[in-house]
Amino acid sequence: MTSLEMIMTDKIALITGGSRGLGRSAALHLAKQGVGVVLTYLSRSDEANSVVTKIENLGGRAAALQLNTGDTAQFASFTERLADTLDQVWGRQSFDYLVNNAGIGINSAFAETTEDEFDTLMNIHVKGVFFLTQRLLLLIEDGGRIVNLSSGLARFSLPGYAAYGTMKGAVEVLTRYMAQELGPRGIAVNAIAPGAIETDFGGGMVRDNSEINQFVAASTAMGRAGLPEDIGGAIASLLVGGNQWMTAQRIEVSGGMNL
């Protein structure tokens, strides 16, 4: 028996965009604490299945479902597939934790950002989070937890991220409204705001461009860019740790960037 099997809980988390980057890290951190994981992916089923296999090899249970979080027309059928998956894998019709993580980045100057770029970001980061969460309310357990992913760019400004930062600012406002309206069900809703992280997000600039990485490190109190594990661990601790009375909060996990 593995240590994971010994601490297995009856909790289940749904993580959008859980096949890579921050979502993948959150999925593995939660699985190591005995939480079952359903993760969504957009197109790379191989990456999603790799995460599922890794969790299963740890002794946990996981499943992967395809979803375009920027297409609200998919949400009804996705909810049905999710309910079927919960029943087949866990014998349940509900889950406990929702992590609205899926997202993309567009680096474009304010004066050059197109309406199509703006709408793409809006559909994924704001409209998708709003209406997917709304659709899933019937499946989320009372006393559950929701974490929305924001960004340090909602607090500080860097050229090229006007549209993206605007979306994340909206996510933070939405988080407070969700917390207010879901509070009577005992559902806590908080936002995690990562700093600059070494992932493939935005073409992998922070991870692969040494000049940008050094700029981030010099702008950060803790002297380095963030790693996926920094955010995955923060998400897991917020969901299963001792913060169950905390709601409507923005928690920045940036190592102290641009203080």
Residues labelled catalytic: 164
Judging by DSSP bridges, how do beta strands 62-66 and 36-41 pair with one another? parallel
> Which residues are 65's β-sheet partners?
40
